[in-house]
Amino acid sequence: MAQEDGFKKIVSHCKEYGFVFPSSEVYDGLGAVYDYGPHGVELKNNIKKYWWESMTLLHENVVGIDSAIFMHPAIWKASGHVDAFNDPLIDNKDSKKRYRADILVEEYLAKTDEKIEKEIEKAAKRFGNAFDETQFRATNPRVLEQQAKRDVTHARFTKALNESNLEELRQIIMDAEIVCPVSGTRNWTEVRQFNLMFSTEMGSTADGATKIYLRPETAQGIFVNFLNVQKTGRMKIPFGIAQIGKAFRNEIVARQFIFRMREFEQMEMQFFVRPGEEMEWFTQWKTTRLAWHKAMGLGDAKYRYHDHDKLAHYANAATDIEFEMPFGFKEIEGIHSRTDFDLRQHEKYSGKKMQYFDPEVGQSYTPYVIETSIGVDRVFLSLISGSYAEESLENGETRVVLKLPAALAPVKLAILPLVKKDGLPEKAEEIMDMLRFDLRCQYDEKDSIGKRYRRQDAIGTPYCITIDHETLNDNQVTIRFRDTMEQERVPIGKLHGIIAEKVSLKNLLKKINS
């Protein structure tokens, strides 16, 4: 399946099965804003629960908060967002399409890497066992030429970003002969900075309304509550504060479905440490966070780290965890060493001390911060795209199945009476009443059993149970397993124990620590 077709199928699957709908669809939608449907919201809630428990249950020194979206506007001045939360944008004069200049260059670099890899793959096939990749990279003229061009562009790009040199950024695009994917031309405008924050007004205009911002990250709500949490929770450094909540960014390039949205949800954790110890914690959180992703079982090879070429204004180290989306490896989480920048800035702008007295060293200091910041919607997309499969069955039919981790699946168990008569629906309802208190069950009696299995496969339900005539005599049901499609007969009395164990979040949480 071509990558693009594969992605289109995922987007339409999300709509057809009640995961994600375009926002305001009856009014033709609203750019890069999406609504989550009945199955989508369950999956999203499960992702959030998995993250929250992994932070606050597995770490006794991490506690949560839920701060407001509206915050004092001085916060965004202090954090640097008013002056520096910009993306460089460029327009193509022929297609009138707008792009992020940095992304155009990053895509060019990724394409060059792909070309080099293809040359290597071809040669490896040609030479078989005798192939020496290091020697090939060092001597093949085509690879050398591509690599040299790539290295020069990469070095110029990093420098231009670090110096916010917009003219140079444009020149790189011209020199690399990057064309607009729509018009195919190189008729580019200048590169301009564009602030990503949405603003609104608080108070009525008559009494002088105040301009306030919709938060572009949840992190600042944590920073300004640092001392409240530390004091009321009697927290000792090192400790973390976790938060899940909406964030808003007026993204210039808002394509790729829920990957880049204007309203999205973040799960952020700020971990406060002694100055000088931040690199140790940075490394530790990088490992822990990658383990969290891998525990979901989508395949370890689908994840990789990507160190930042350009550090944000607040960071002294930063890495992304990338996931192989249908459109290539993309950032799903950022891990940043934010120094003491934010706390110091809030101290400066508010005039209030934001220091911590460390009883172990008998000193007050401004803590350093390691941040882990992940988008719920991007994890959602990774789960859908990483678990989507089209399979041919023995009877010649095909099935679409979401092989979601059982603990995160929207519906855990489907309860299916074989026929709509002979007391089977009543028995099924009885079982449902027994299980519904802690397992999300779905009852379905419509259509053939095969069709009902297909519907459950499509939403990722890990277990289906069938109630047949024999059930009325032996009090046993058949469990059908989504991934293997195998079936097993079990006593009704044991059902709760079997399923609850299999779908428990504990299974994922234990894997992170193993």
Residues that bind ligand GAP (CB under 6 A): 217, 219, 249, 251, 260-261, 264, 266, 268, 331-334, 371, 373-375, 377-378
3 state DSSP class of 252: coil
Smallest distance, Å, CB 370 to ligand GAP? 12
* Residue that has been written with the tokens 């908060």 in this structure: 65
Cβ proximity to ligand GAP: between 266 and 461 the closer is 266
Nearest residue to 329 (alpha-carbon basis) of 257, 259, 400: 259
Cβ proximity to ligand GAP: between 340 and 377 the closer is 377
- Rounded to whole angstroms, the Cα distance separating 314 from 311 reads 8
Cβ proximity to ligand GAP: between 375 and 462 the closer is 375
Smallest distance, Å, CB 267 to ligand GAP? 9
Smallest distance, Å, CB 115 to ligand GAP? 27
Give residue 178's Cα distance to chain centre: 29
Q: Which residues pair with 304 in a beta bridge?
A: 322
Smallest distance, Å, CB 453 to ligand GAP? 34
- Rounded to whole angstroms, the Cα distance separating 153 from 55 reads 40
Cβ proximity to ligand GAP: between 315 and 415 the closer is 315
Cβ proximity to ligand GAP: between 101 and 335 the closer is 335
Smallest distance, Å, CB 23 to ligand GAP? 13
- Rounded to whole angstroms, the Cα distance separating 82 from 212 reads 11
Nearest residue to 430 (alpha-carbon basis) of 443, 420, 448: 443
Q: Are 334 and 373 in contact (CB under 8 A)?
A: yes
Provide the sign of the torsion angle of the four alpha carbons 348, 349, 351, 354, taken in this order. Answer: negative
Q: What are phi and psi of 299, to 5 degrees?
A: 120, 120
The token pair that represents 471 in the structure block: 């059930």
Smallest distance, Å, CB 257 to ligand GAP? 10
Cβ proximity to ligand GAP: between 85 and 453 the closer is 85
Cβ proximity to ligand GAP: between 33 and 291 the closer is 33
Smallest distance, Å, CB 219 to ligand GAP? 4
Q: What is the DSSP string of 158-214?
A: HHHHHTT-HHHHHHHHHHTT---TTT----B---EEEE---EEEES-STT-PEEEEB
The token pair that represents 135 in the structure block: 């020697």
Smallest distance, Å, CB 79 to ligand GAP? 10
Cβ proximity to ligand GAP: between 198 and 349 the closer is 198
Smallest distance, Å, CB 225 to ligand GAP? 15
Cβ proximity to ligand GAP: between 78 and 414 the closer is 78
Cβ proximity to ligand GAP: between 215 and 427 the closer is 215
Q: Are 271 and 94 in contact (CB under 8 A)?
A: no
Smallest distance, Å, CB 376 to ligand GAP? 8
* Residue that has been written with the tokens 């090879």 in this structure: 301
Give residue 413's Cα distance to chain centre: 26
Q: Are 247 and 268 in contact (CB under 8 A)?
A: no
Cβ proximity to ligand GAP: between 239 and 323 the closer is 323
Smallest distance, Å, CB 501 to ligand GAP? 32
Determine the residue with CB nearest ligand GAP: 375
* Beta strands at 363-365 and 356-358: parallel, antiparallel or unpaired: antiparallel
- Neighbour order of strands in the sheet with 239-248: 62-64, 239-248, 263-273, 368-375, 328-337, 317-325, 303-307
Q: Are 369 and 243 in contact (CB under 8 A)?
A: no
